[in-house]
Amino acid sequence: NAGVTQTPKFQVLKTGQSMTLQCAQDMNHNSMYWYRQDPGMGLRLIYYSASEGTTDKGEVPNGYNVSRLNKREFSLRLESAAPSQTSVYFCASSVSRQNTEAFFGQGTRLTVV
Amino acid sequence: KNQVEQSPQSLIILEGKNCTLQCNYTVSPFSNLRWYKQDTGRGPVSLTIMTFSENTKSNGRYTATLDADTKQSSLHITASQLSDSASYICVIRGGSQGNLIFGKGTKLSVKP
C-alpha cells in the first residue's frame, strides 16, 4: 500500500524552464491537494481538486497550473520557473474536502537557480 | 485574519523527559484541529483530531487537549524517545472556505 507517491524527489531547474510534478494516490480518495513548504512558514495551499474533474485555486496559485488526470493522479506544472518557486512541494489526498485527515507524499525538493 | 500560532518554535529535551507544545488559533468558523508529526525529509502524518466535543485525545505517549474558550490546544509528550524528534504541526480546518490552515510547527529535538 503505497499511499501518496510523488515524483521526482529532487529537481534543479534553471530560471525559465518548465517541469511537471507528478502525484498519484492508491487510496481511492476523492480530493487531492498541492502544497508548498518554505522555511519559517506553514504549508500553503497552491491548488486543490475536490473531486475528479474539478480544480480550484488555493492561497498561492500564481505561476502554477494543475491537471486532475483521473481519480488517482494530480499533477502540478511550473510553466516558467522562478527562484521564488524554490521550495518543498507536497501532494496530499483525503477522502473528501470535508474530511480533514490529509495523507501526504514524501515531498519534492525543487531548487530554481 | 485566520491564524494558527505555535510555540515554542523549537525545543530540545533529554530522552525520557516530558514536554508540552502549544497551539493558539484565531480561526473562525472552527471545524476541527489536527496535530501532525513531520519527520525530516518526509510528509506530515496525522497524530490526532480534536473537536469541541472530543477535546481530549490520547495516542500512546501523546495526549492532546483543546480549549474552545481560550482557543488553545496543547500536545503533551510523555517519556520522550529519540524517535519523537520531528516537527509537530497544528492544523485547523475552518475559515469561510473550510480550508486547512497550518501552523509553522514546533521543531522538537530529543537528545540522548
- Find out whether B9 and B106 touch, Cβ atoms under 8 Å: yes
Query: Which tops the pLDDT comparison, A69 or A89?
Result: A89
pLDDT at residue A27 in the model? 96
Query: Are B20 and A84 a contacting pair, CB within 8 Å?
Result: no
Q: Which residues of B touch A59 (CB under 8 A)?
A: 99
Tell which wins on pLDDT, B106 or A99. Answer: B106
Predicted local confidence at residue B84, as pLDDT: 97
Of all residues in chain A, the percent with pLDDT exceeding 70 is: 97
Identify the residue whose cell numbers are 500553503. Answer: A44
Mutate: best of A31, A37, A99, partner B, most B CBs <10 A: A37
Of the candidates A90, A23, A4, the one whose C-alpha atom is nearest the C-alpha of residue B91 is A90
CB neighbourhood size of A23 (10 A): 25
Residues in chain A closer than 8 A to B34 (CB atoms): 100-101
Give the pLDDT of residue B99: 82
> What are residue B69's DSSP bridge partners?
none
Are the Cβ atoms of B43 and A42 closer than 8 angstroms? no
Please determine, for residue B1, whether its predicted confidence score (pLDDT) is greater than 90.
no
Q: Measured between CB atoms, which of A40, A98, A101 is closest to B46?
A: A101
Please list every residue in chain B whose beta carbon sits closer than 8 Å to the beta carbon of residue A105: 43
Average pLDDT over every residue of B95-112: 91
Nearest-angstrom CA–CA distance, A85 and A36: 9
Longest dimension (CA), chain B: 45
Subunit contact A104:B100, Cβ cutoff 8 A: no
Looking at chain B from residue 88 to 107, which residues have their Cβ under 8 Å from any Cβ of chain A? 89, 91, 93, 98-105
- The answer to whether residue A40 scores a pLDDT higher than 90 is no
The reported pLDDT for the residue numbered A98 is: 78
Is a pLDDT exceeding 80 seen at residue B11? yes
CB contact under 8 A, A90 and B43: yes
How far apart, in whole angstroms, are the C-alpha atoms of residue A43 and residue A82?
19
Q: pLDDT grade, residue B98 (50/70/90)? A: confident
- Which band of pLDDT confidence, cut at 50, 70 and 90, is reported for residue A1? low
Given CB atoms, is B8 within the 8 Å cutoff of chain A?
no
C-alpha distance from B18 to closest chain A C-alpha (Å): 25
B22-81 pLDDT, tens digit per residue, is: 999 998 888 899 999 999 999 999 999 888 888 899 989 999 999 989 999 999 999 999
Radius of gyration over every alpha carbon of chain B, rounded to an integer in angstroms? 13
Residue B97 scores a pLDDT above 80: no
Half-sphere exposure of B17 (CA within 13 A, CB side): 13
| Nearest residue, CB atoms, A45 vs list B44, B99, B105 | B99
B59-88 residues touching A, CB cutoff 8 A: none
